[in-house]
Structure 1
Amino acid sequence: MSESRIDFRQAKFLISAPDIAHLDEYLPGDVGVEIAFAGRSNAGKSSALNALTEQKNLARTSKTPGRTQLINVFALDDDRRLVDLPGYGFAKVPLAMKKKWQAALGEYLQKRRCLSGVVVLMDIRHPLKDLDMQMIEWAVASEIPVLALLTKSDKLAQSAKMKAVNKVRKELADFGDWVKVEPFSSTKGTGKPKVLGILNQWCHPDWLLEQTQEQE
């Protein structure tokens, strides 16, 4: 099928939900396409979403990591959505709350049938922590493609940036084509065209066409 370009600037807030059950209440049938954004609470997830959609306040940013406590959904059109998952790796929240959010993350990744891809955001200076690897392994085990997005790439010189990117690519090489690795900067726009290209491909899985034809 031919792929139409998705205008990510059209993203609009749709719903916040504490878990997949509440998400199903608002989006019954688990249909369409969702692309999830996941990462540690200091990985720059909200900034990346705002940069990719060219909206300053689509995803709320905070100087206090871990403020994204809900599953936040943004609609691109009637069939496609971006999903901002709760940040993980919090330093200053109760253990019970950490476990609750981790459970919501795992449930979403394992049970959401319309999930087309996962963007795992990591600070390029501190990539592939245990929870990052767990997130990537969860997705690949569920046969969901992953974009390992190395954020804050403007913090490194060009040579150090490429060294870090190549190191992560080498460490994730065993996952094959399931995982792509790209550097990204929300402030400089580094990597934005490549990222939007990958997201656009994920917005057009073959099964979405089949699903649409069944509904007609």
Structure 2
Amino acid sequence: MSQTRIDFRQTKFLISAPDIAHLDKHLPGDVGVEIAFAGRSNAGKSSALNALTEQKNLARTSKTPGRTQLINVFELDEHRRLVDLPGYGFAKVPLEMKRKWQNALGEYLQKRECLSGVVVLMDIRHPLKDLDRQMIEWSVASQIPVLALLTKSDKLSQSEKMKTVNTVRKELAEFGDWVAVESFSALKGTGKPKVLSILEAWCNPDWLNDQIAEGKAE
């Protein structure tokens, strides 16, 4: 089955929800393909989504990290979606709210059958914090491929950037092909073609193409 080309510039906002139960109510079932974006609240998640889709305001950015308290779903086409998960580990909010976000993250990763891949975004200057590692381990344990995306790469020199990428790849080598590591700059656009190629591959699992061909994924 040939791979369907995805125009990420056509991405549009679909829905916001506080938890997976609300997603189930408002989405057409746990079907198709979803790619989740997760990361600490200061990892530049919204900026990365805007840069990858070439839309300035698709995902809301804020000078105060941690404002994204909902699961935000964006539609690529009728079968494929990008999911912006609540940021974790930084926001100055009550502990009860943090626990609620963590529960939503864990529930989504463990129960969402249509999840095809997880992008774990980390500031390249501060990679692999405890919650980042936990997110990667959760995903791999569920047999979901991960892209460890080292953001804000424009903040480092070329040599520093490559050194950090190689260090992170070495530290995540135990997960084999389940985890890819790439650097990215939303400001400069560096790394964008590689990231899009990975996302496009995740958008095209053989089972989805077979469903579409047979007219089942409608």
**TM superposition score category, shorter chain reference:** over 0.9
Letter in 1 for 2:42: N
Offset at 1:90? 2.4
Mapped contact 1:152–1:184 kept (Cα < 8 A) = yes
Offset at 1:214? 6.1
Matched, 1:176 2:176: yes
Offset at 1:5? 1.4
Moved more, 87-96 or 6-15: 87-96
Offset at 1:207? 1.8
Aligned 1:100-119 pairs, distance under 5 A: 100-119=100-119
Structure 2 counterpart of 1:59: 59
What TM-score comes out, normalization by structure 1 length?
A: 0.98
Aligned 1:37-76 pairs, distance under 5 A: 37-76=37-76
CA–CA distance in structure 2, aligned partners of residues 148 and 31 of structure 1: 25
1:93 partner SS: coil
CA–CA distance in structure 2, aligned partners of residues 139 and 102 of structure 1: 14
Offset at 1:71? 0.3
Matched, 1:215 2:208: no
What TM-score comes out, normalization by structure 2 length?
A: 0.97
Structure 1 counterpart of 2:195: 195
1:204 partner SS: coil
CA–CA distance in structure 2, aligned partners of residues 90 and 114 of structure 1: 28
CA–CA distance in structure 1, aligned partners of residues 193 and 215 of structure 2: 33
Letter in 1 for 2:114: C
1:215 partner SS: coil
Mapped contact 1:37–1:120 kept (Cα < 8 A) = yes
Q: Which runs of 5+ in 2 are unaligned?
A: none
Consecutive aligned runs of 4 or more in structure 1 exceeding 2 Å deviation: 209-214
Letter in 1 for 2:98: K
Residue by residue over 1:46-71, the C-alpha shift from the partner in whole angstroms, topping out at 9 and shown as x without a partner, is 00000000000000000000011000
1:107 partner SS: helix
Offset at 1:91? 3.8
* Count of residues paired in the alignment: 216
Q: Which runs of 5+ in 1 are unaligned?
A: none
Structure 2 counterpart of 1:162: 162
CA RMSD after TM alignment: 1.0
1:75 partner SS: strand
